[in-house]
Amino acid sequence: MASVANFRSEVAEAALDLFTDNGYDPTSVEDIALAAGISRSTFFRQFRAKEDVIFADHEALLDELGSYLAASHPDPWEAVCQAAALVFGMFSERREIAQKRYHVVQAVPALRDRETIMVSRYERLFSDYLRRALPGLAALDAIRFAAAVTSTHNYVLREMMLDSPRGSLQNLEHELLTVRRIFGVLSPDDASAAPAEDDLVVAVFPRSTPTAEVARRIQYALDGRSA
């Protein structure tokens, strides 16, 4: 399986070089096959079309994340954030390739649409895992948290693509901690979750107020902001 993933990655790298140098539309499957040193038929045994090459790494990543989340984790909320950090780390290790893909995708509307679909698969993976790991969790809460984690990851990843100092794993971990704080799912063992002072906070909400909204308003109050 690893050899297949490596093969797909090598073909994708050759394709991205062509897309970067010559443009996406002018580059044909034959051009990609020639650059990768394979036949046209071999190409189509691994990819349905040339747009599939752009997202070849994502398929392997989704499989790897599925295996990671299938393992036992003491804190499912943290596990989802760790999974997002794993994705970021993998792209960071291949930053040059990731940046080429980013610029190619941004230049082609059809690829941007395809990327949106790919992002939804990560969200679905995360929300499905949370619902399995936390049987009492409302489906919408799982979806909201998964969307927040994925959006946060993608924002920081874009910063990395643009060589911004904010595009770092350290910043991603900080922002994901903020997501968990907003949703009220920080681990008690997390040192960052401990209050700086022993202040007493009393809050009263209608029983029907959603848990996430309660957490949001309390966090805003602690930060000295108006909800």
Write down all domains in the chain, each with its CATH number in brackets.
1-54 (1.10.10.60), 55-188 (1.10.357.10), 195-227 (no CATH)
Question: What pLDDT does residue 117 have?
Answer: 93
Reply yes or no on whether the pLDDT at 225 is more than 60. Answer: no
Reply yes or no on whether the pLDDT at 224 is more than 60. Answer: no
Residue 108 is given by DSSP the state: -
Would you give the distance in Å from CA 85 to the centre of its chain? Answer: 8
Reply yes or no on whether the pLDDT at 88 is more than 80. Answer: yes
Reply yes or no on whether the pLDDT at 4 is more than 60. Answer: yes
Contact 132, 51 (CB under 8 A): no
What is the pLDDT averaged over residues 215-221?
67
- Helix ranges (H only) for the chain are 2-22, 29-36, 40-46, 50-54, 56-70, 76-93, 95-107, 109-133, 139-161, 169-182, 211-222
Question: What pLDDT does residue 199 have?
Answer: 57
Question: What pLDDT does residue 190 have?
Answer: 66
Residue 191's pLDDT band (cuts 50, 70, 90): very low
Give the tokens for residue 107: 């230049």
Q: Report d(CA 104, CA 187) in Å as an integer.
A: 39
Contact 221, 199 (CB under 8 A): no
pTM, two decimals, is 0.79
Reply yes or no on whether the pLDDT at 223 is more than 80. Answer: no
Tokens 């936390």 sit on residue: 134
Q: What is the DSSP string of 28-50?
A: -HHHHHHHHT--HHHHHHH-SSH
Residues 132-160 pLDDT 10s: 999 999 999 999 999 999 999 999 999 99
Question: What pLDDT does residue 201 have?
Answer: 64
Q: Report d(CA 160, CA 173) in Å as an integer.
A: 14
Question: What pLDDT does residue 107 have?
Answer: 93
Angle at 38 between CA 51 and CA 43, to 5 degrees: 35
Q: Report d(CA 97, CA 91) in Å as an integer.
A: 8
